[in-house]
């Protein structure tokens, strides 16, 4: 059931979403309607989401943060904040140094995804309609508009990243493939994200630490 629910969430078109929901309902019978009735579609289904998720469909980042501060979260608030500051300082420096060594235009993981999409559509035929519109003869056939950055499979619009159909069409158009990838996937954007730094806070000039100053007493009760 989890797999079928995931298929519903990732479905890029209304038709595919409806089909996935029907399969999900048949699998769960009476449980599924009760489960989804209080879940607004725009909050969990790709096809109804109002905005751009750029491929992110879970709260894994939050879970990673919770794991990141697992040892520090039991400290007093001032020490907790300082521990988070040091972790962020280390992480930003590590990623800033790593990104400086990237030679490509887009981030390495996205470059690998682009190569995978290119290899997937190498055998597909493409027919040109206008300067920007192409029909990609895959299964099923789709329409790609490289000018508007759209594909009738809707994956390009949802993720901001060219799908395999779009890669084939762009290859035939003669345009630069990297120019049609959303700027958020570019190495420049990644470097800009970690360009700033977190300043150290030395303790040499701070007053002595007294643990009793940070103990919060329980409220008075009758």
Domain boundary among 48, 65, 86: 48
pLDDT of residue 3: 92
Q: Which residues of the chain have a pLDDT value below 70?
A: 204, 206-207, 209, 211
pLDDT of residue 203: 74
pLDDT of residue 97: 95
pLDDT of residue 216: 76
Query: What are the CA-CA distances from residue 26 to residues 4, 23, 35, 78, 86 (Å)?
Result: 10, 5, 14, 53, 51
pLDDT of residue 94: 94
Residue 63 lies in a domain: yes
Which range marks the domain in which residue 65 is found? 52-101
> Closest Cα to residue 163, out of 186, 147, 146?
146
How many domains, the chain?
Answer: 3
pLDDT of residue 209: 67
């Amino acid at each position: 059931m989890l797999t079928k629910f995931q298929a519903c969430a990732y479905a890029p078109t209304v038709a595919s979403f409806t089909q996935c929901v029907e399969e999900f309902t048949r699998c769960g019978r009476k449980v599924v309607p009760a489960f989804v009735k209080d879940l607004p579609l725009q909050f969990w289904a790709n096809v109804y989401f109002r905005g751009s998720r750029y491929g992110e469909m879970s709260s894994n980042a939050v879970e990673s943060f919770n794991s990141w501060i697992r040892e520090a979260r039991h400290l007093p608030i001032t020490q907790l904040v300082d521990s988070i500051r040091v972790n962020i300082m280390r992480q930003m420096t590590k990623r800033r140094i790593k990104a400086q060594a990237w030679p490509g235009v887009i981030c390495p993981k996205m470059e690998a995804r682009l190569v995978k999409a290119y290899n997937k559509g190498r055998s597909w035929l493409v027919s040109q309609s206008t300067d920007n519109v192409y029909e990609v003869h895959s299964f099923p056939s789709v329409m790609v508009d490289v000018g508007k950055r759209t594909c009738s499979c809707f994956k390009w619009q949802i993720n901001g990243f060219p799908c395999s159909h779009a890669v084939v069409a762009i290859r035939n158009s003669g345009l630069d493939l990297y120019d049609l990838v959303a700027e958020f996937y570019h190495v420049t954007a990644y470097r800009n994200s970690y360009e700033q730094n977190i300043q150290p806070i030395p303790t040499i000039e701070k007053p002595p630490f007294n643990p009793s100053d940070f103990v919060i007493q329980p409220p008075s009760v009758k």
